[in-house]
Structure 1
Amino acid sequence: MITQAALPAALAFIMFAMGLTMDPGDFRRIAARPQALAAGLAAKLLLVPLAGLAVVTVWRPSADFAVGMILLAACPAGVTSALLTHMAGGRIALAATVTALTSLAATLSVPALVNLGLAAFAGYQQAVEIPVGRMTLGIFLVDTVPLLLGLGIQRLWPRAAERLGRVARPVASLLFALIVVGAFISQRQSLVDHMGDVVPAALVLNLLAMGGAWGLGSLLRLDMADRIAVVMENGLQNSALGIFVAVTLLGNHAMMVPSIVYAFVMNLTAVAFIWAVKRRSIGSRPPRHGHESRP
């Protein structure tokens, strides 16, 4: 009960801290350059589900794991994507907007894709009703509302937001670390039990999602901040929604395993991506005057 209350509260605080750091002008930039938002939505709503279907078709796991993988690929972006986008130097406003819109789209995409998976891989003859509207409302309350609150403080009282942000940002980073560690500890047995059959498939899906998003961003010539946001949004799935649908709505614990495994895998690759972006940024800086390297 404590965990069920603490996790949403921690996620809400993370989004509040992100709102304190955001520039309201970022939303105007999104409106002025809609190709970045279009890329994020297209990759999230089309690329990731297609990648999930491709992985399942090639890997051919058991029926329950196949449906669970399709369910995972249908889920919207994870709530922590904005924080990780911030850590990587991406555009938080774009990440938050994609998360909000894909969460709304999940009311249609999740039932449609899950029923497709049930029919194709589990032999279901009739569609299963999946009322994900209440979960979408929960995502809105945990994700969008705290973000808007932090953004409002930043807009109305910028000095107060700056002082509060100096405390909130490290606390948000600490909370995120605790969430990742807690998820790993609580699900370590599932990781061990399914190391050979689900972990490789989850890793391939994650790399396809991130790599495809990077390629799409390059094709559209998005700037680095937008490209980072699109990659993070596509690599980080709302695994909590996948677990909720599998266990509560479908009553099948095996179908939640891909979401559990992916939750661990996606955080590892996200940290690796942040490290690579930071290293590239440092390497691309011009040398300081007086310290140029000699030929």
Structure 2
Amino acid sequence: MTQILAAFLPAGLILLMFVVGLRLSLDRVGAAFRHPQALFTGLAVQMMLLPAVAFLLVRLFGLSTEMSIGLVLVAAAPGGVTSNYIAWLAHADVALSAAMTLVTTSLAAVTIPAILMLAGVAALPGVSGLAKMSMAMSAVALVPMAIGIGFAAWRPETAKRLGNILDPVSKLIFAAMVLATFVQNWGAITDHLSSVGPAVVALNLIALGLAGGAGMLMGLNTGQRRAIMVEASLQNVAVAMFVAGSLLKNPALATPALIYALVMNISALVQISMAHRRAVSVSGT
């Protein structure tokens, strides 16, 4: 079962990102960089405030050394690979979401070792491996999106029809991916939920609060605020697990990431549901 899921998930992710690309344009993505206020706000929340919150939670909950490093590692990870698709489902600014994913993933080989050093990890071996891992994850997410953007620019009407056909399929695949996350990680989640679970939940909820608050403070529109909330609350747990198991040779450090995978998917479903309720309410008035 695990091998089937492992083979299915990358293909499913590629389709999801292609569907997102069909709804985007290169100009919209470029606008996120040309007018970077929202981008800088989101990056400040995700790359600066979130790790700081993790350090505070470690002390507040009195976590063990392994769980402390693991929680900080989750906070230091780049944006989740499904965040752009979730941003689309949540009626967020997908171009901003994609820009944040690109930046955080590109810088992960620098930011993760720096943040871990503050957590007491003297040196992170195999940083080149981390860079390759980060870029590979980025390619899986962003290359199919870029292909979708290109196809939409080349054949806009065909892309629109294709998007309408693939939309329900992509939603089924997304639901299957969420379910697969629960199945794969359920054992680790139940074993450690009581010890580190509250800190993981707190990290996710605070990420949402900080993102929404920062967006309001900076006068961002609803779509931009939603994009930052999605990006800040969804971390790339695969990268965190790679660092824990392959680079630091301590799989126990991945425990907070496994639990976060469950929490962030529940959080994502709530954000999508709230966005759809708001859309229905607005259309009905």
TM-score (norm 2): 0.93
Output the amino acid matched with 1:58.
L
Output the amino acid matched with 1:76.
P
Identity of aligned residues (%): 35
Q: Is the 8 A contact 1:18 1:169 kept in 2?
A: no
Find the aligned partners of 1:4 and 1:115 in 2 and give their Cα distance.
32
How do residues 115-264 of structure 1 correspond to structure 2 at under 5 angstroms? 115-117=117-119, 119=120, 126-131=122-127, 132-264=130-262
Q: Is the 8 A contact 1:26 1:91 kept in 2?
A: no
Match of 1:7 in 2: 9
Find the aligned partners of 2:214 and 2:46 in 1 and give their Cα distance.
11
Larger-Rg structure: 1
Q: Which moved more, 1:55-64 or 1:235-244?
A: 55-64
State the secondary structure of the residue aligned to 2:194.
Answer: coil
> Would the alpha carbon gap of residues 130 and 214 (structure 1) be closer, same or farther in structure 2, given more than 3 Å must change?
farther
Q: Is the 8 A contact 2:78 2:104 kept in 1?
A: yes
Q: Which moved more, 1:54-63 or 1:65-74?
A: 54-63
CA offsets, 1:43-93, max 9 Å, x none? 111111111111112112111111111111100000111111111101111
How far residue 284 of structure 1 moved from its aligned partner, in angstroms, is 4.2
Match of 1:114 in 2: 116
Q: Is the 8 A contact 1:39 1:217 kept in 2?
A: yes
How far residue 31 of structure 1 moved from its aligned partner, in angstroms, is 4.0
Match of 1:293 in 2: none
Match of 1:42 in 2: 44
- How many equivalent pairs are there? 281
State the secondary structure of the residue aligned to 2:92.
Answer: coil
Q: Is the 8 A contact 1:111 1:129 kept in 2?
A: no
Match of 1:104 in 2: 106
Q: Is the 8 A contact 2:29 2:98 kept in 1?
A: no
Q: CA RMSD in A?
A: 1.6
> Would the alpha carbon gap of residues 239 and 154 (structure 1) be closer, same or farther in structure 2, given more than 3 Å must change?
same
TM-score (norm 1): 0.90
Structure 2: gaps spanning 5 or more residues: none
Q: Which moved more, 1:98-107 or 1:193-202?
A: 193-202
Output the amino acid matched with 1:48.
L
Find the aligned partners of 1:174 and 1:113 in 2 and give their Cα distance.
37
Q: Is the 8 A contact 2:182 2:262 kept in 1?
A: yes
Structure with more helix by fraction: 2
State the secondary structure of the residue aligned to 1:61.
Answer: coil
How far residue 261 of structure 1 moved from its aligned partner, in angstroms, is 0.1
Q: Is the 8 A contact 1:76 1:99 kept in 2?
A: yes
Structure 1: gaps spanning 5 or more residues: 288-295
Match of 1:290 in 2: none
Output the amino acid matched with 1:129.
P
Q: Is the 8 A contact 1:130 1:245 kept in 2?
A: no
